[in-house]
Structure formats: C-alpha cells, structure tokens
Amino acid sequence: MLRIADRWFERRRISDEITLITEPHVHPFLRCNIWHVRGRDSDLLVDTGLGCASLMDAMADLIDKPLVAVATHIHYDHVGGLHEFDERVMHEIEAHRMVDYDEFTWLRIADFPRAWHSALVQPGFDDYLIDALPSADFSFENYTIQSTSPTRAVDETDTIDLGNRHFEILHLPGHSPGSLGLWEQASGTLFSGDAIYDGQLLDELEDSSISDYVATMKRLRELPVSIVHGGHEPSFGRSRMIEIIDEYLGWRA
C-alpha cells in the first residue's frame, strides 16, 4: 500500500522570473518539468504535469495576473492539469485531440509493452509509476486526463507575449506530430518540451516520426541557444545541446 504524500509538488526558483515545479513522487520517466515564467503583464506556464493533484491549487500564490498555460504536446505527463487554467494553448495539429482525450494514461509498469519493463523498474517503483498517493481518495482505476478545449491553437507564426518577454512558437515534430517549443531570441531561452532534453529521447511512440525528429534536431542545431529548459531532466546550455543533437543524429540520421 502506497503512503500519502505530504505534498505532491515541489518548486525550485531558477531565476527572478522562472520557477521549476515538479512532481517528486512520479517516476523519472513521467516526471515532467513544469515551468512558470513571470512576465510584466501576464505569466506563462509551460506544461502541467500528470494531473494527479491540483496544480492550480499548488501554485495559487504564484498567480497574481493573467496566465497562459501552454502544452508542449499531447502526452499525458504534460497535459494533466491543463483543464484548470483559463487560457490553454496547444499546437494546432494536436489541439483537437484534447477535446475528447483518449491517449494512453498508464500509471502501472505492467500496462507498458513488455520490452519497456526492465527500464522502468527502479528502486521504489516496482509496480506503479508513482511512489506515493497524492490524496487518500486517489484511485489508479479512475485516473484519467480531463478533456478540455484549448482556447488557442498555434503554429509557427504565433507568439506568446508577456509584456516584457516574447516567445516565438517553434513547431518541433518528431516526438509527437504537434510538439512545440517556446523560443525567446532576446535571452536565447528555449522551452523545448520533449523535443530535446538531457535523457533518452523517445522517437518510436505510436505517433512519433524519426524523419521528423531528425529534421527537428538539425533545425535546433542552428538555433543560437543560451539555455534549454526541457520537458524532463535538468536544464543545459548550447554546448550540451549540440552534444545531444549530434549523438542523436549519429544514431538516426
């Protein structure tokens, strides 16, 4: 029997404007980085985690102005709390899939294909992909992603304007068809979702495309990045980004 977590979310302040929110009781495979970016006129939220507990409640003290919640892609570890926010943004290729969400939402290792099992078993995660319960009434059987209608569907020509910070939408397919990144040229900051992070990149999921992923990697290699805040794992700079890209291209291209 899993214990009940004292708290479900943790925070780490990255800078005066950026806070990282994580779900420490979630298996690293599913532990999404949730990024809160403070702006002058509005704030940005990049991804919303698994939805096992209320993200809105956990970050209520951070919200003092309009907030735009952006889902970098459709997978359940990134959209679980999207429905809680008034402004909900996704790439136009995947936005319609949130309206009646029917993607896989596995929380047990046994639900995954057998070839994945050995990689998913870690100390503390022998059966489930969480090592504690978010509340006493949480039910694995009833866990699901709440469908919601994105309020804005975006593509390459769009931007997210916070007043003093401006993020361009980059379409970065490969991991999923509608994967997107948020690029701030002025600071060299990229919020990359699962297009690139410092870990094993997944390009063989049901709706992944290796050829698209190769093209995305080649594109990112030319981007004058200073810092990458990925969908998983720690952030990294341009030199590490080039290493990750070259390793991937050496494998797949």
| Residue 112 C-alpha from the chain's centroid | 20
List pLDDT tens digits, range 32-68.
999 999 999 999 999 999 999 999 999 999 999 999 9
pLDDT band at 1 (very low <50, low <70, confident <90, very high): confident
Q: What is the pLDDT of residues 205-244, one digit of tens each?
A: 999 999 999 999 999 999 999 999 999 999 999 999 999 9
CA 171 to chain centre: 15
**Average pLDDT score over residue span 150-169:** 97
**Total length of the chain:** 253
Percent of the chain with pLDDT over 90: 95
pLDDT in tens, 167-201: 999 999 999 999 999 999 999 999 999 999 999 99
Show the tokens assigned to 81.
Answer: 């709390």
Per-residue pLDDT for 126 more than 90?
no
Domain map of the chain by residue range?
Answer: 10-252
Tokens of 21: 């929110």
In the predicted structure, residue 17 carries a pLDDT above the cut 90: yes
Q: How confident is the model at residue 251 (pLDDT cuts 50, 70, 90)?
A: very high
Whether the Cβ atoms of residue 166 and residue 184 lie closer than 8 Å to each other? yes
- Give the β-pairing of 87-91 and 67-70: parallel
The angle subtended at Cα 212 by Cα 29 and Cα 184, nearest 5°, is 75
* Residue 134, token pair as written in the block: 């978010």
- The pLDDT, as a whole number, for residue 253 is 87
pTM score, whole prediction: 0.97
Q: Is the dihedral of CA 149, 231, 41, 156 positive or negative?
A: negative
Q: In the predicted model, is pLDDT for residue 134 greater than 90? A: yes
Dihedral pair phi/psi, residue 44, rounded to 5°: -120, 135
Integer Cα distance of 58 and 34 in angstroms: 12
- What integer pLDDT is reported at residue 130 of this predicted model? 97
Question: What are the pLDDT digits (tens) for 95-124?
Answer: 999 999 999 999 999 999 999 998 898 998
Fold of 10-252: Metallo-beta-lactamase; Chain A (3.60.15)
Edge-to-edge order in the sheet of strand 87-91:
10-13, 18-22, 34-37, 43-46, 67-70, 87-91, 152-154
49-59 pLDDT per residue, tens = 999 999 999 99
2 in Cβ contact with 133 (< 8 Å)? yes
The encoded tokens of residue 54 equal: 């209320």
* β-sheet bridge partners, residue 153: 90
Triad 14, 89, 186: Cα angle to 5°: 45
Contact present, 175 and 203 (Cβ < 8 Å):
yes
Q: What is the mean pLDDT of the chain?
A: 97
